[in-house]
Amino acid sequence: MLDVLAGFVSELREAGLPVSMSETLDAAEAMGYVEMGDREELKYALAATLVKSPSHWRAFETAFEVYFALRGEKFAIDATSNDPGEAGSEELRPEAFGGHRGAGGGGGEALGPQEVAEMLMRALWSADTAMLAAAARYAVGRFAGMEPGRPVGGTYYLYRTLRNLDLDRIAGQMLDAAREEAPAGHLTPLEERLVRDEIGSRIALLRKEIEAEIRRRLVADRGTEALAKSLRKPLLEDVDFMHASRDEMASLRRVVQPLTRKLAVRLARKRRHGRKGPLDFRATVRRSLSTGGVPVDPRFRYPHPAKPEVVVVADVSGSVASFARFTLHLVHALSTQFSKVRSFAFIDGIDEVTRFFEESDDVVEALERVNTEAQVVWVDGHSDYGHALGEFWERWGEELSPRTSVIILGDARNNYHASQAWVLAELMHRVRHVYWLNPEPRAYWDTGDSIVGEYSPYCSDVVECRNLRQLESFVAGLA
């Protein structure tokens, strides 16, 4: 067992989790106190000793599924299970569905699509994990068409299984059934919404079971380490903005709120830290009374350092839109930490978008309005940094002051237009700092139509900003 633990820990480290030696020892000690047969208990014991941050949970779970997939009796794969259909349906029918289905389908012959759908629906309605697992097992055996030694990823099998199951249709049928069963003959919108949520969550559960089943079979086929390596994904804070999947983008958005809170606390603390205000005479004298009039413990007032003004100028063209939106979102969520935040969006024209964030509490809606209402297109809707910066200087240059920090977001891919770098040179003289955040890897800078190099002499700093970690450290350094 200790060998498995050692392998497991090194896999976690490979995935980027900081697991120390003493934590490994704790885990080993903890394993002595759990029931080895109980997989859940083992999982929580390992999680408690090895995983110390919620954002690492996903990586932990994946690794755990792989390393401890075959341990536990009910998950053992019998020898016949590589033979699709057969094994799954045999063990499934008698225990779970025999009673319901009666005479339907005998022996090892495959079920028809309608029957499969019925079986799934029954499993979904029952919301019983064992039954869902059995259904998932059957589905994978039947549809995934897994062949030993074939070098394709788990997602391929998942896709094949799900395509054959057609879960959307099943969800629709379940909803219809719920409508019919409703006492009033129809569902109120609220009830319908709740039923839909319920069905959605159960289908998600089934999907998870299917994924787990596929993983189990892959482990049996390829061995633990090889599979763990292929399933490794970057941690959320290392996900590249430019290549984030939709799921990843959604989870990134979800962490913005806690992240801003964290940053806000840190910034406020940093500003206050180490600096004391003037002596608070009254408090000092009052305090000294308890030491017989000797002012042992001088009191100071809190200092009130000035907050910086921030102007964000963001490229919102297709290539970097997700990055720009994310950053705008973050900066505005932090607006209490800056005395003033103004934001501008451009593609080849430029427009101020501060009002969208001010008028609406809701960030998603504000971003939507930035996309639809702001006048950011001048000629053809291809990025033109030169023109946009020029216009920015002309229209708003007067309003900038030496207290302002300007942050420019973009990849500086200018479609071979003129760079107008003099604008930045002028800016540099007028404001406190000019920062450029570039979501591209540093190696790509100044290749093709990227002209970061022409702007960078006029910036206080040009920063590579590809993931949450880099963005966080930049914002923390700002205030």
Partner 1 sequence: MSGVGSEESSTPPSRVTPLAFLDPGDPRFASVADVRERLGSAGYLADEGIAGVVHLADRLGKPVLVEGPAGTGKTELAKSVARVTASRLVRLQCYEGLDESKALYEWNYRKQLLRIQAEQVVAPIAGEEPGTPPSGQGRWKVLEEDIFSEEFLLARPLLEAIRSTDPVVLLVDEVDRLELETEALLLEVLSEYQVSIPELGTVSATRIPMVFLTSNNTRELSEALKRRCLYLHLDYPSLEREREIVSERVPGITTELADQVARIVRALRGMELKKHPSISETLDWARTLVMLGVESVDPDSARSTLNVLLKYRSDLERAAKELDLVVAGDSPT
Residues lying near partner 1 in the complex (CB under 8 A) are found at: 18, 20, 22-23, 26, 29-30, 33-35, 38, 40-41, 44-45, 47-49, 51-54, 57, 188-190, 193-194, 197-198, 201, 253-254, 257-258, 261-262, 265-266, 269, 290-292, 360-362, 364
Residue 88: CB minimum distance to partner 1, A: 28
Half-sphere exposure of residue 194, counting CA atoms within 13 Å on the CB side?
Answer: 5
3-state secondary structure string, the chain? CHHHHHHHHHHHHHCCCCCCHHHHHHHHHHHCCCCCCCHHHHHHHHHHHHCCCHHHHHHHHHHHHHHCCCCCHHHCCCHHHHCCCHHHHHHHHHHHHHHHHCCCCCCCCCCCHHHHHHHHHHHHHHCCHHHHHHHHHHHHHHHHCCCCCCCCCHHHHHHHHHHHHCHHHHHHHHHHHHHHHCCCCCCCHHHHHHHHHHHHHHHHHHHHHHHHHHHHHHHHHHCHHHHHHHHCCCCHHHCCHHHCCHHHHHHHHHHHHHHHHHHHHHHHHHHHCCCCCCECHHHHHHHHHHHCCCCCCCCECCCCCCCCEEEEEEECCHHHHHHHHHHHHHHHHCHHHCCEEEEEEECCCEEECHHHHHHCCCHHHHHHHHHHHCCCCCCCCCCCHHHHHHHHHHHHHHHCCCCEEEEEECCCECCCCCCCCHHHHHHHHHCCEEEEEECCCHHHCCCCCECHHHHHHHCCEEEECCCHHHHHHHHHHHC
Nearer to partner 1, 129 or 415 (CB): 129
- In whole angstroms, how close is the CB of 416 to partner 1 at the nearest point? 39
Q: How far is the CB of 57 from partner 1 (least distance, A)?
A: 7
- Pick between residue 226 and residue 296 the one whose CB is nearest to partner 1: 296
Residue 427's φ and ψ, nearest 5 degrees, are -55, -50
Specify the residue, 22 or 372, whose C-beta has the smaller distance to partner 1. Answer: 22
Q: Which of 197, 373 has the CB closer to partner 1?
A: 197
Closest CB 284 distance from partner 1, rounded Å: 17
Residue 407 beta carbon to partner 1: minimum distance, rounded to whole angstroms: 23
| Structure tokens belonging to residue 408 | 């420019």
Q: Closest CB to partner 1 among 43 and 382?
A: 43
CB of 408 to partner 1, least distance (A): 28
Nearer to partner 1, 237 or 391 (CB): 237
Min dist. Cβ of residue 469 to partner 1 (A):
12
Taking the complex as a whole, the smallest distance from the CB of residue 198 to partner 1 amounts, in Å, to 7
Name which of 38 and 147 has its Cβ closer to partner 1: 38
Q: Which is nearer to partner 1, 92 or 178 (CB)?
A: 178
Shortest gap between Cβ of 38 and partner 1 (angstroms)? Answer: 8
Q: Which is nearer to partner 1, 76 or 364 (CB)?
A: 364
User: Nearer to partner 1 by C-beta: 54 or 441?
Assistant: 54
Please report where in the chains the tokens 């763990």 appear, as a residue.
228
User: Min. distance of Cβ 215 from partner 1 in angstroms?
Assistant: 21
